[in-house]
Amino acid sequence: MSPKKKKILLFSLILDAIIVALVLFYFFAIPHGKIDELKDGYVQVVVVDGKAQYSQVKAKPKNWVGIKKISKIAQQAIVISEDWAFYEHEGVDWAQVQKSIEDSIKDGKKPRGASTITQQLAKNLFLSPEYSFVRKAREAVIAHTMDRKLSKDKILEVYLNIVEFGPGIYGIDAAARHYFGKTAAELSAKEAAFLAMLLPSPTRYAQSFKDKEL
């Protein structure tokens, strides 16, 4: 066999191996069944030793509220704060990822978080919190799959019902009742802005609220 044919054969084998690896990754690294179950299911949050554990359930949890029972202004405030392109991207905001990488190269620091709401959901439900490139790759692929299989309203509903707003405070209805003594449907623009502000560091900001230092 000539050297040229050997190179062509080697390239073909490498390409075949990459295709097989991608197919295996798609079917085994992505929890398709769990994502499908979310269409009509819910997520239960249980705090164990100060850490939240998430599990999918068929029965609606006690504090769960449907997307239509969450103040529209609260939805908008949190989307703008956490993931302003939520309704435009397909699970991953590649423009923000590119900017994050460019900024990290320029500043010589670790890339800042560029996770979308869908990626945050993918990480909490299906992955470990430890950072690694493999986990981030899985997170992106799972988020893209979730965006294909679930509606934006469903993704946002699940997120708003399990996100942390302070120590032991999970879900926007629990947060509305804790901070303002009202339901998620009754939140005003000012109250919605406050809850959105909590999300980057809920424990620290919740303590500031308690100490009246905000």
Query: What DSSP letter does each residue of 120-164 carry, written as one string?
Result: HHHHHHHS-SS--HHHHHHHHHHHHHHHHHS-HHHHHHHHHHH-E
**What percentage of the chain carries pLDDT values higher than 90?**
58
Q: Calculate mean pLDDT across residues 132-152.
A: 90
Domains of the chain: 31-210 (1.10.3810.10)
Separation between Cα atoms, residue 155 and residue 160, nearest integer Å: 9
pLDDT digits (tens, 9 = 90+) for 11-66: 565 654 555 455 455 555 789 999 999 999 999 999 988 889 999 999 999 889 99
Please give the model's pTM, rounded to 2 decimal places: 0.82
Separation between Cα atoms, residue 118 and residue 125, nearest integer Å: 11
38 exposure class (CB count in 10 Å sphere: 0-12, 13-18, 19+): buried
Residue 57 CB coordination number (10 Å): 12
